[in-house]
Amino acid sequence: MELTGEEKERQLKAYLELLKHPSISATGEGIRETSQLLRELMESLGVSSSIVETAGHPVVYGEYSVGGSSTLLIYNHYDVQPVDPLEEWTSDPFSAEVRGGRVYARGASDNKGTLVARLFGSVKAVREGKVNLKFLYEGEEEIGSPNLSSFVEANSGKLKANGVLMEGSSLDHRGRPLIVLGVKGLLYVQLDISTGERDLHSSNAPIVYNPAWEMIRVLSTLVEDGKVKIPGFYDKVRPLNEREREMLKDYDVSPEELMGSLRVERLRFDDPQRLREALFGEPTCTIDGIVSGYIGKGSKTVVPHKASVKMDFRLVPDQDPKEVLQLLRAHLNRVGFKGTLTEMGLERPMRTSPDTRLVRALEESAREVYGKNPVLVPNSAGTQPMGLFVELLGVKEVASAIGVGDPNSNAHAPNESIELDNFFKAVEHTSSFIKWYSSNVY
Amino acid sequence: MELTGEEKERQLKAYLELLKHPSISATGEGIRETSQLLRELMESLGVSSSIVETAGHPVVYGEYSVGGSSTLLIYNHYDVQPVDPLEEWTSDPFSAEVRGGRVYARGASDNKGTLVARLFGSVKAVREGKVNLKFLYEGEEEIGSPNLSSFVEANSGKLKANGVLMEGSSLDHRGRPLIVLGVKGLLYVQLDISTGERDLHSSNAPIVYNPAWEMIRVLSTLVEDGKVKIPGFYDKVRPLNEREREMLKDYDVSPEELMGSLRVERLRFDDPQRLREALFGEPTCTIDGIVSGYIGKGSKTVVPHKASVKMDFRLVPDQDPKEVLQLLRAHLNRVGFKGTLTEMGLERPMRTSPDTRLVRALEESAREVYGKNPVLVPNSAGTQPMGLFVELLGVKEVASAIGVGDPNSNAHAPNESIELDNFFKAVEHTSSFIKWYSSNVY
Partners of A196 on chain B (C-beta within 8 Å) are 262-265
Query: Do residues B286 and B412 lie in contact, with contact meaning Cβ atoms separated by under 8 Å?
Result: no
With an 8 Å Cβ cutoff, are B190 and A299 in contact? yes
With an 8 Å Cβ cutoff, are A286 and B264 in contact? no
In B217-229, which positions are buried (b, 16+ CB within 10 angstroms) versus exposed (e)? bbbbbbbeebebe
With an 8 Å Cβ cutoff, are B202 and A84 in contact? no
pLDDT number for residue B356: 93
User: Quick count: other Cβ atoms within 10 Å of Cβ A136?
Assistant: 23
Beta carbons within 8 Å of B87's beta carbon, 6+ residues apart: none
Query: Do residues A319 and A328 lie in contact, with contact meaning Cβ atoms separated by under 8 Å?
Result: no
pLDDT number for residue B129: 64
Integer Cα distance of B406 and B108 in angstroms: 11
Integer Cα distance of B384 and A36 in angstroms: 61
pLDDT number for residue B416: 97
Measured over the CA atoms of residue A12, residue A14, residue A19 and residue A25, the dihedral's sign is negative
pLDDT in tens, A320-330: 999 999 999 99
Decide: helix, strand or coil at residue B180.
strand
Amino acid at A296: G
Beta carbons within 8 Å of B144's beta carbon, 6+ residues apart: A299, B186, B188, B344, B345, B346, B347
With an 8 Å Cβ cutoff, are B290 and A212 in contact? yes
Question: DSSP assignment of A229-266, as one string?
Answer: -STTTTTT-----HHHHHHHHTS---HHHHHHHHTBS-
State CA A183 to chain mean position distance: 9
Nearest to A303 by CA among A206, A423, A166: A206
pLDDT number for residue A157: 95
CATH architecture of A5-184+350-439: 3-Layer(aba) Sandwich (3.40)
- DSSP 8-class letter at A192: E
Beta carbons within 8 Å of A108's beta carbon, 6+ residues apart: A19, A96, A404, A409, A416, A417, A418
Minimal CA separation from B359 to chain A, in Å: 23
ipTM of the modeled complex: 0.84
- Domain layout of chain A by residue ranges: 5-184+350-439, 185-237+282-347
With an 8 Å Cβ cutoff, are A296 and B202 in contact? no
Query: Do residues B410 and B416 lie in contact, with contact meaning Cβ atoms separated by under 8 Å?
Result: yes
* Distance linking the first and last C-alpha atoms of chain B: 22
Query: Do residues B59 and B31 lie in contact, with contact meaning Cβ atoms separated by under 8 Å?
Result: no
Amino acid at A223: V
Integer Cα distance of B277 and B282 in angstroms: 7
Does pLDDT of A275 surpass 80? yes
pLDDT number for residue A129: 65
Beta carbons within 8 Å of A118's beta carbon, 6+ residues apart: A74, A76, A165, A402, A426, A427, A430
Residue in chain A nearest B227 by alpha carbon: A206
With an 8 Å Cβ cutoff, are A296 and B381 in contact? no
Q: For chain A, what percentages of helix, strand and coil (3-state, to nearest 5) are there?
A: 35, 25, 40
Partners of A142 on chain B (C-beta within 8 Å) are 299-301
Long-range own/partner contacts, residues A436-439 (CB < 8 A, 24 or more apart)? A436/A360, A436/A361, A436/A364, A436/A365, A436/A368, A437/A70, A437/A72, A437/A131, A437/A163, A437/A357, A437/A358, A437/A361, A438/A68, A438/A70, A438/A125, A438/A129, A438/A130, A438/A131, A439/A129, A439/A130
List Cα–Cα distances, B226 to A161, A306, B365, B382, in angstroms: 60, 17, 39, 17
With an 8 Å Cβ cutoff, are B308 and A300 in contact? no
Amino acid at A47: V
pLDDT in tens, A66-75: 998 899 999 9
Partners of B338 on chain A (C-beta within 8 Å) are none
Per CATH, is B185-237+282-347 categorized as 3.30.70.360?
A: yes
Rounded to 5 degrees, φ, ψ at B170 are -165, -175
Element (H, E) at A421: helix A420-439
Query: Do residues A58 and A35 lie in contact, with contact meaning Cβ atoms separated by under 8 Å?
Result: yes
Partners of A293 on chain B (C-beta within 8 Å) are 287-290, 310
Integer Cα distance of A108 and A73 in angstroms: 22
Nearest to A221 by CA among A327, A304, A340: A327
Long-range own/partner contacts, residues A153-159 (CB < 8 A, 24 or more apart)? A153/A392, A155/A52, A155/A61, A156/A392, A156/A393, A159/A73, A159/A134, A159/A393
Query: Do residues A203 and B415 lie in contact, with contact meaning Cβ atoms separated by under 8 Å?
Result: no
Q: What is the largest CA-CA distance in chain A?
A: 76
User: Quick count: other Cβ atoms within 10 Å of Cβ B336?
Assistant: 10
Nearest to B285 by CA among B338, B353, B234, B322: B234
pLDDT number for residue B265: 93
pLDDT in tens, chain B (442 residues): 689 999 999 999 999 999 999 999 999 999 999 999 999 999 999 999 999 999 999 999 999 999 888 999 999 999 999 999 899 999 999 999 999 999 999 999 999 999 999 999 999 998 766 899 999 999 999 988 889 999 999 999 999 999 999 998 999 989 999 999 999 999 999 999 999 999 999 999 999 999 999 999 999 999 999 999 999 999 999 999 999 999 999 998 899 999 998 999 999 999 999 999 999 999 999 999 999 999 998 889 999 999 999 999 999 999 999 999 999 999 999 999 999 999 998 888 999 999 999 999 999 999 999 999 999 999 999 888 888 898 899 998 999 999 999 989 998 889 999 999 999 999 999 999 999 998 765 4
- DSSP 8-class letter at B354: S
Mean pLDDT across the stretch A103-110? Answer: 98
List Cα–Cα distances, B412 to A198, A209, A374, B348, in angstroms: 10, 17, 61, 21
In A308-320, which positions are buried (b, 16+ CB within 10 angstroms) versus exposed (e)? bbbbbbbbbbebb
Residue in chain B nearest A214 by alpha carbon: B225
Minimal CA separation from A317 to chain B, in Å: 15
Q: For chain B, what percentages of helix, strand and coil (3-state, to nearest 5) are there?
A: 35, 25, 40
Q: Is-cis flag, bond preceding A320, omega within 30?
A: no
* Distance linking the first and last C-alpha atoms of chain A: 22
- DSSP 8-class letter at B58: P
Query: Do residues A311 and A188 lie in contact, with contact meaning Cβ atoms separated by under 8 Å?
Result: yes
Does pLDDT of A152 surpass 60? yes
Integer Cα distance of B111 and B79 in angstroms: 8
Which residues face A98 on adjacent strands? Answer: A103
Q: Give the pairing of strands B375-377 and B178-180.
A: parallel
pLDDT number for residue B128: 67
Minimal CA separation from B28 to chain A, in Å: 10
User: Number of Cβ pairs closer than 8 Å across A and B?
Assistant: 309
With an 8 Å Cβ cutoff, are A299 and B144 in contact? yes
Mean pLDDT across the stretch A415-421? Answer: 97
Query: Do residues B232 and B294 lie in contact, with contact meaning Cβ atoms separated by under 8 Å?
Result: no
Please, where are the H alpha helices in A20-155? 31-44, 112-126, 148-154
pLDDT in tens, A334-348: 999 999 999 998 888
